[in-house]
Structures are given as structure tokens and as C-alpha cells.
Amino acid sequence: MPAIWTTPNEAPAQTGAFSMTNAALGAARPEGVPLASVILRPSRSLPRRGFAWLLLITWALLLLPLIPLLGTAALWVMLPFLLAVLLALWLSFERSYRDGELCEELILWPEMIHVHRHNPRAAAQSWQASPYWTRLKLTPEGGPVENYLTLRGNGREIELGAFLSPEERADLYDRLGDELARARAPVHPAPQ
């Protein structure tokens, strides 16, 4: 699940997701419970256990052509190349898992929206603005990707959920638009 939403009335069970600390938010953290928050992560199609099985099956299939070469010098010529294939497969999947640690967390209060992006191989990035002045934009075609999603506010425009599928960005646009409208709505005290 690439998008995990949390509102004050619901809490996700065991998300395992990155959580923003008070230090990441800085001193400008608003008081009170956020109206909503969402954690965005890239989809993971192959868990580590499946990867271990893939390596084991690949190793077994690579050994099949070596059976006729048992007891010959050709076996020792072929073996380093087959081990190189396994090593390349392992290294490429490890890189993919490291890149999958990418995470964006958006927290929405009535007076502030804050986005924190945790990059696996670069410094973390943060952005914040007033929800009242923040504009959410979905560009269905003509952007860098289909359903290009951006937030504009506080003099900057940021891309949101670049790693999500076009359908997931469209769903995020709808839900985030509703949450921003809720944050902009005037708060009236309950009648007594």
C-alpha cells in the first residue's frame, strides 16, 4: 500500500513507515492534533523472502548446464561467469531495496501543511506552507509524467508522489483536495 492515511479518528496498525520527528518539523510545529497525515512509499512487488527464493531458483537453474561439464576443465571456466550473474542479480536487487526506502510524509494542520521527503541517498527535504494559500494541481497530460501532482505555496512548487502510479496520484489528488478544503473551512464553535 503506497499511501497510508491517518486522521485523528483512525490510526494505522503497524505501518512500519518513516515518521517525522519534532526535530524534522522544527520549532514551527503547530499545537494540537493534525487534521490528517499521509505517508507515501513506493510499491514493493517482491519482498525479501521472495528475493531469497529467486536467488535460490536462479542458482539451481544455472547449475543445470554444468552437469555435463562435471570433471572437465570447462566447468571451472563456466563457473565464474555463473557466479557473476548471481552477484549482479543480488547487487541490482539490493540497490532497488535501498531506493525503495524513499518516503514522503505530509501532515496537515488547520494552520500549516508540512511535507517531509526522506531520500535514501541524499539529504532529507522539507516544505511547509499555509493550507489556505496552498494550491494543489494535477496535470493529466503534458507534465513530466501522467497525472503530475504538485503543491504550490510559500513561494515554491513541489512535486508530490513522483514514484506513485498515475492512478494512485489521481486518488491522492482527490483525497488531499478534500482534506485541504476541510483545513480551509472556518471553524465555528459548537452551539451550546
Question: Which parts of the chain are beta strand (E)?
Answer: 3-6, 36-40, 103-108, 113-118, 125-129, 135-139, 148-153, 156-159
Q: Are 38 and 3 in contact (CB under 8 A)?
A: yes
Architecture of the domain spanning 3-44+100-184: Roll (2.30)
The span from the first CA to the last CA of the chain, in angstroms, equals 42
Residue ranges per domain, the chain? 3-44+100-184, 48-99
Q: Give the sheet arrangement for strand 135-139, strand by strand.
A: 135-139, 148-153, 156-159
What does the pLDDT look like over 45-59, one tens digit per residue?
A: 888 999 999 999 999
What does the pLDDT look like over 109-161, one tens digit per residue?
A: 989 999 999 998 899 999 999 999 999 999 999 888 899 999 999 999 999 99
Euclidean distance between CA atoms 13 and 173, whole angstroms: 24
